[in-house]
C-alpha cells in the first residue's frame, strides 16, 4: 500500500509549479480534482492502443474497447458496492445523473399534489431538476432546514417527509459547509413513507468509503472529475427494479433492442440509459482513478483529509477575524471549508490568496438558496484532497494572515 504523501505528489506534475512566483497550493478540489499520471496514462494508452466504438463491431479493437469500457463499469460497481454492473449507468456527471432521474422516474411517477423533499444545502444540480419537475407537474417542493451548526435538522426532516412525499433528494456531503448528512436515517424515513431516496454523492465518493447497498439509497449520483478522473464522465447508480421500470432518458443508438418503422424496444440495463456513443475514454479514465484510490484505500484517503481538517479548521475558527460556515467539529466535517474574512469580500480575498499561489473558490458555490438562508452573498471556500499536505494548510493560513494585514494596512492608510 502506497500512503506516503511526498511520494504521492510526484504523481501530480501539475502541482509542481509556481503561480504568481509562489508554489501552487491547490485548494479548489471541491470544484475539480487534479489528475495523476496513472489516469492520464490510461487515457493515452486507450487512445493509442484500443480506441474503437463499443458494442458495435466484431473486429479486435471494438472488442478491446468494449472490454475496457465494461471493465470500468465493473470497477465502479465494486467501488460503491452496487449489487451488479447493470445498476451502474455512465453519464456526463452528477448533474446529468440527477437530471436523468428527474426526467425519467420523475416524469413517470410525480403527479399533481405529490411532494418532493430536498434540503436547503443542495447544490443547484440537486435542486433545479426537482424545482422544474414540480412546476411541470403542479407538485410541491419542500426544504429540510439547517440547525444553527449547519447540519440537517432531522426533526424538520421528520415533519417534511410525509405520506405525500414521493422523492427525497439530499447531498451525501455539502459542497459548501463540508457537512456529512445522515443518509441512512433519511433513507429509512423516506422508505417508511413510501418515497424513494436520491443521494447526490458528488462531494462524498471521492473522499470516503461509500457503500450504496449499506446506505440503501434508491439512486446515487456522482462525477468522475472530482475523484481525479477526466471531466465529462459520471455515474448514476440505481436499484435494478426502479431502473427497469423507468422510461429511457434519451433515444438513439446503443439504447435500443429492435427498431421498426413505427415502434422500438429498448436495450437491457444499463445500456437502456446510454444512448449514442458514450465517453468511452472517460470511463476508462474513471476506472484508472478508482484503481488509484483503491490502491490508497478510501479509509486512508478519509483519514488523511481528516488529519488536515483537524489542523486547519480549529485555526480558522479560533481567528476572530474569520467567520467559518458549517460544523465547527472537525470530526463531522469533510475537507470542504467555507469562510470569510470579516469585512472583506471573498473575491478580494481569493485574488489576494492567488497572489500567494493559493487557489480557493470564491462565490455562491452553485448553492444560492443556501447562501440566502445563511444571509450571505458569497464565501471563500478551501477544499482539500489526498495530495494536499500540512504544508498547504500552513501556506493557506500564512496567506490569510498576509491578506488581513494587507487590507487593514491599506484601509488605515486610506483614511
Partner 1 sequence: MSLSKLNSLYREVILDHADHPHHKHALTDATTTMTVKNPTCGDVINLDIDLNEDDVITNIGFTGEGCTISQSSASMMSDAVLGKTKDDALKMAKTFSDMVMGKQHYQADLDELDDAAILSSIVSFPARIKCATLSWWALQRALLSNQQEESDGEA
Place of cell 500552513: 394
Cβ distance to partner 1 smaller for residue 250 or 351: 351
Q: Minimum CB separation from partner 1 for residue 400, in Å?
A: 11
Cβ distance to partner 1 smaller for residue 82 or 366: 366
Residues 348-387 that bind partner 1 (CB under 8 A): 348, 351-352, 354-357, 362-364, 368, 371, 377-378
How many residues line the site for partner 1 (CB under 8 A)? Answer: 30
107 binds partner 1 (CB under 8 A): no
| 201: β partners | none
Pairing relation of β-strands 140-144 and 115-119? parallel
Q: Minimum CB separation from partner 1 for residue 315, in Å?
A: 19
Q: Minimum CB separation from partner 1 for residue 354, in Å?
A: 8
What is residue 48's DSSP assignment?
A: I
Task: Select the residue interacting with partner 1 from 5, 22, 141, 216 (CB under 8 A).
Answer: 22
Question: 132-137: which pairs have CB atoms within 8 A and are 24 or more residues apart?
Answer: 132/102, 133/102, 133/106, 133/107, 134/110, 136/107, 137/106, 137/110, 137/111, 137/112
259 binds partner 1 (CB under 8 A): no
Closest CA to 323 of 337, 306, 333: 337
Estimate the crossing angle of helix 390-414 against helix 298-318, to 10 degrees.
Answer: 30
Q: Minimum CB separation from partner 1 for residue 19, in Å?
A: 10
Q: Minimum CB separation from partner 1 for residue 410, in Å?
A: 5
- Rounded CA-CA distance 218/199 in Å is 8
Main-chain dihedrals φ then ψ at residue 241, nearest 5 degrees? -60, -40
Cβ distance to partner 1 smaller for residue 228 or 344: 344
Q: Minimum CB separation from partner 1 for residue 144, in Å?
A: 23
In the chain, % helix, strand, coil (3-state, to 5) comes to: 45, 20, 35
Q: Minimum CB separation from partner 1 for residue 107, in Å?
A: 28
Closest CA to 220 of 244, 203, 232: 203
Cell of 146: 439547517
Stretch that binds partner 1, among 82-90, 146-154, 302-310, 401-409 (CB under 8 A): 401-409
Q: List Cβ neighbours of 241 (8 Å cut-off, separation of 6 or more).
A: none
Cβ distance to partner 1 smaller for residue 27 or 344: 344
Mark 261-290 with x for binding to partner 1 (rule: CB under 8 A) and - for no binding: ------------------------------
Cβ distance to partner 1 smaller for residue 137 or 361: 361
Cβ distance to partner 1 smaller for residue 323 or 402: 402
**Which runs of E-coded beta strand occur in 103-145?**
115-119, 140-144
Main-chain dihedrals φ then ψ at residue 138, nearest 5 degrees? 55, 40
- Rounded CA-CA distance 300/348 in Å is 35
Catalytic residue among 198, 360, 366, 386: 366
- Rounded CA-CA distance 322/316 in Å is 6
Q: Minimum CB separation from partner 1 for residue 352, in Å?
A: 6
Task: Select the residue interacting with partner 1 from 21, 111, 263, 268 (CB under 8 A).
Answer: 21
Stretch that binds partner 1, among 84-92, 281-289, 388-396, 400-408 (CB under 8 A): 400-408
What is residue 181's DSSP assignment?
A: P
- Rounded CA-CA distance 101/280 in Å is 22
Cβ distance to partner 1 smaller for residue 211 or 410: 410
What is residue 14's DSSP assignment?
A: G
Residues 316-355 that bind partner 1 (CB under 8 A): 344-348, 351-352, 354-355
Task: Select the residue interacting with partner 1 from 83, 108, 303, 411 (CB under 8 A).
Answer: 411
Instruction: Specify whether 199 is catalytic.
Output: no
402 binds partner 1 (CB under 8 A): yes
Interacting residues toward partner 1 by CB under 8 A: 20-22, 344-348, 351-352, 354-357, 362-364, 368, 371, 377-378, 402-403, 406-407, 410-411, 413-415
The residues carrying an active-site annotation are 366
Amino acid at each position: 500500500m502506497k500512503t506516503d504523501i511526498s511520494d504521492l505528489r510526484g504523481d501530480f506534475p501539475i502541482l509542481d509549479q509556481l503561480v504568481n512566483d509562489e508554489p501552487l497550493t491547490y485548494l479548489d478540489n471541491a470544484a475539480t480534482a487534479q489528475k495523476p499520471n496513472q489516469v492520464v496514462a490510461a487515457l493515452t494508452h486507450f487512445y493509442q492502443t484500443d480506441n474503437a466504438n463499443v458494442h458495435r463491431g466484431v473486429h479486435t479493437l471494438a472488442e478491446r474497447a468494449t472490454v475496457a469500457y465494461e471493465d470500468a463499469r465493473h470497477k465502479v460497481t465494486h467501488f460503491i458496492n452496487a449489487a451488479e454492473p447493470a445498476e451502474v449507468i455512465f453519464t456526463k456527471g452528477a448533474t446529468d445523473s440527477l437530471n436523468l432521474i428527474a426526467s425519467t422516474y420523475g416524469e413517470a411517477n410525480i403527479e399533481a399534489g405529490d411532494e418532493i423533499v430536498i434540503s436547503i444545502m443542495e447544490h443547484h444540480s440537486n435542486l433545479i431538476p426537482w424545482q422544474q419537475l414540480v412546476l411541470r407537474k403542479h407538485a410541491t417542493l419542500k426544504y429540510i432546514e439547517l440547525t444553527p451548526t449547519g447540519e440537517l435538522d432531522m426533526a424538520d426532516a421528520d415533519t417534511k417527509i410525509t405520506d405525500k412525499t414521493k422523492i427525497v433528494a439530499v447531498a451525501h456531503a455539502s459542497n459548501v459547509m463540508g457537512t456529512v448528512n445522515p443518509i441512512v436515517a433519511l433513507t429509512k424515513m423516506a422508505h417508511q413513507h413510501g418515497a424513494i431516496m436520491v443521494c447526490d454523492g458528488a462531494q462524498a465518493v471521492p473522499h470516503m468509503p461509500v457503500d450504496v447497498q449499506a446506505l440503501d439509497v434508491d439512486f446515487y449520483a456522482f462525477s468522475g472529475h472530482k475523484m481525479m478522473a477526466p471531466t465529462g464522465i459520471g455515474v448514476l447508480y440505481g436499484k435494478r427494479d426502479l431502473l427497469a421500470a423507468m422510461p429511457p432518458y434519451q433515444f438513439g443508438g446503443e439504447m435500443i433492442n429492435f427498431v421498426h418503422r413505427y415502434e422500438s424496444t429498448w436495450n437491457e440495463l444499463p445500456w437502456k440509459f446510454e444512448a449514442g456513443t458514450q465517453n468511452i475514454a472517460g470511463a476508462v479514465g474513471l476506472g484508472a482513478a478508482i484503481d488509484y484510490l483503491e490502491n490508497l484505500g478510501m479509509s486512508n484517503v478519509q483519514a488523511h483529509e481528516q488529519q488536515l481538517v483537524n489542523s486547519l479548521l480549529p485555526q480558522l475558527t479560533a481567528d476572530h477575524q474569520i467567520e467559518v460556515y458549517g460544523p465547527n467539529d472537525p470530526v463531522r466535517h469533510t475537507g470542504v471549508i467555507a469562510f470569510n474574512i470579516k469585512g472583506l469580500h471573498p473575491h478580494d480575498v481569493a485574488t489576494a490568496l492567488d497572489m500567494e499561489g493559493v487557489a480557493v473558490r470564491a462565490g455562491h458555490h452553485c448553492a444560492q438558496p443556501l447562501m440566502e438562508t445563511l444571509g450571505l452573498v458569497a464565501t471563500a471556500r478551501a477544499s482539500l484532497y489526498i495530495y494536499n499536505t500540512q504544508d498547504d494548510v500552513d501556506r493557506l493560513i500564512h496567506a490569510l494572515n498576509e491578506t488581513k494585514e494587507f487590507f487593514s494596512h491599506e484601509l488605515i492608510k486610506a483614511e
